[in-house]
Amino acid sequence: SPWTYGEGIDAAPRWSPDGKSITFLSNRSGKMQVWLIPSEGGEARPLTRFTNGVNQHLFSPDGRFVAVLVSLKPDEPDLLANNPPREEKDAKEKKEDKPMIVDRLKYKSDDFGFRDEKLQYLYLVDVKTGESKRLTEGDESISSFTWAPDGKRIAFTANRASDPDRTWTSDLFILDMDTLHISKLTDQDGVFGSLAWSPDGKWIAALGHNLEYAGATLTKVWLFDPLTGEKRGVTENWDVDVEDEMIGDMHADAPAPGLVWATDGSGLYFRASREGNVSLFYTSLEGVITPVADGTFHMYGFSLDEAHQRAVLAVSRPTEIGDLYLLRLPTGEWKRLTNKNEELMSQLTLSTPEEFRFDAKDGWIIQGWLMKPVNFKPEEKYPLILEIHGGPHAMYGNTFFHEMQVLAAKGYAVLYTNPRGSHGYGQTFVNAVRGDYGGMDYEDLMAGVDEALRRFTFIDKDRLGVTGGSYGGFMTNWIVGHTNRFKAAVTQRSISNWMSFYGVSDIGYFFTEWEIGFPLFDNPEKLWEHSPLKYVKNVETPLLILHSERDYRCPIEQGEQLYVALKHLNKVTRFVRFPDSNHNLSRTGKPSLRIERLHHIVNWFGEYI
């Protein structure tokens, strides 16, 4: 049953060390603030009143304080927490129409919009009085922080480079709570986060990597000595990504649990992505890795009891949206705790995917899945939709995917695969797409379609469709410019022109070099060669273009260029622009727009396949 009630969003709950209270973030007063509620139930009370709300919070080991991460402009009032309380929702400032002055290279973000020069600060909040104290003097970005077990230090990661727009590293810092002195442990040699201090205080664990393969580098578990800064990789010899890399449209807002220390400090619990599954593992400090909860599922969250005898797991499967399970660690016994969608599921018929493997053109083994249409009859022929995930450094797998279930319910077989560039199959595999967009990744996808037609004879080879978003949108655009085997296509939040993407995307100026191999001014011919727009004259497939107005990752001009070119050439196309939405429309967008998006996809395929 619900623990809190009322309007707004309640999120990120934290147990107090004594278990008597719970803090959580809520926007019930306007901004996201920290609220406190007795663990036995009762009335919640606000603990903070920061000008722009709170981003993260964490109890001190003794439970007397909460460390919080907040964002403030340099000229804003320090905090409202020490002033008389006010209802923030009744004090909205009127925005004046003023030009935006831009001096920074990275001045916008798909997550936060245009940069407003806010810096991030750590504050200490007294749980009893609500009084606050500033601990740091403003950072470009703080991605993670953790308390030392004695409460005398806080470790945090931040980008304090002289030019943070050109530096992708995040260094590890130690804050002394008595003196507020900050010491730097690392020297711009990697990207690290999800910090966790060991129970004995000897190590700080982190997730991260050294950028050896830019954005395609596998995340590993690392240990840092808080006194010397010595770093060693715990899982560096394990060719598996230690993150949740699953692509889906139901769990994007699930909080990442990160790393959890064993009570005796002998090792760590963590999630990892491999071959279409996200599972729970344990590693000793020497790097001996043991599966804890490994299976055919997507474990998108976990929590351990104090004695680490029991774990609560948040699990999704292709026919299960997501529920909680109790795992007894000594015996491996599972028990289902929730069945929140039981009534809904009793009214639906879902499709269970069939996993298969196939040979790529060059002999690599590729993993894929095929969902049969709902109410499948073996004697009938069915159209097929190829789905292509974004990233490209992500993976499809054994999780609930609403969009695919909708297509299966409408009578389509649905094919989805993990071509090279995907996570889940090791460093060489995930790195292979870099510099080769539209090359062997395209061949992998076509080989997947060929294998599906060979293996599943009920598929009508003359009624094929294709869709994908982000990188999947790029690949959809690429496909229709290189083959006419598909009768209809839907491209979503896509890339059509790498040359303009370089300058308009919030990540364009470095992502083009990371993924294609060159920035615009070094080799524009290379960027154009890999741009689907170059091949627009070849397109004969009816193409629906879906794009969000506030997409700063793959900005809407990418869709505009493609639409205008197709229309100018008298090709069959349509352009749908979604208001007040960013790159994550399909995952975290307004529900009404997410539904309308699905209607457009279904109707387009229905008209042309």
The catalytic residues are 470, 583
User: Contact at 8 Å (CB) between 258 and 252?
Assistant: no
Question: Would you tell me how many other CB atoms lie within 10 Å of the CB of residue 166?
Answer: 11
Tokens of 133: 């104290």
Question: Would you tell me how many other CB atoms lie within 10 Å of the CB of residue 353?
Answer: 23
Q: Rounded to 5 degrees, what angle do the CA atoms 288, 289, 292 make?
A: 140
Rounded to 5 degrees, what are φ and ψ at 83? -95, 170
Please report, as a single letter, which amino acid is at residue 400. F
Question: Would you tell me how many other CB atoms lie within 10 Å of the CB of residue 19?
Answer: 10
What Å distances lie between residue 439 and 25, 446, 529, CA to CA?
A: 46, 11, 11
Please report, as a single letter, which amino acid is at residue 565. A
Please report, as a single letter, which amino acid is at residue 107. Y
User: Contact at 8 Å (CB) between 303 and 311?
Assistant: yes
The CA distance from 368 to 354, in Å, is 8
Q: Taking the mean position of all CA atoms in its chain, how far away is CA 460? A: 35
The CA distance from 477 to 494, in Å, is 8
Q: Where are the alpha helices (DSSP H) in 337-439?
A: 342-346, 402-409, 427-431
Cβ-based neighbours of 92, under 8 Å, separated by 6 or more: 30
Rg (CA), the chain: 25
User: Contact at 8 Å (CB) between 472 and 495?
Assistant: no
Rounded to 5 degrees, what are φ and ψ at 229? 80, 0
User: Contact at 8 Å (CB) between 452 and 382?
Assistant: no
Burial of residue 534 (CB within 10 Å: 0-12, 13-18, 19+) is: middle
Rounded to 5 degrees, what are φ and ψ at 603? -65, -40
Cβ-based neighbours of 144, under 8 Å, separated by 6 or more: 156, 157, 192, 193, 194, 195, 206, 258
Half-sphere exposure of 193 (CA within 13 A, CB side): 16
User: Contact at 8 Å (CB) between 394 and 422?
Assistant: yes
> Residue 538 has what DSSP assignment?
G
Question: Would you tell me how many other CB atoms lie within 10 Å of the CB of residue 377?
Answer: 10
In 3D, which of 222, 149, 111, 154 has the Cα closest to residue 550? 111
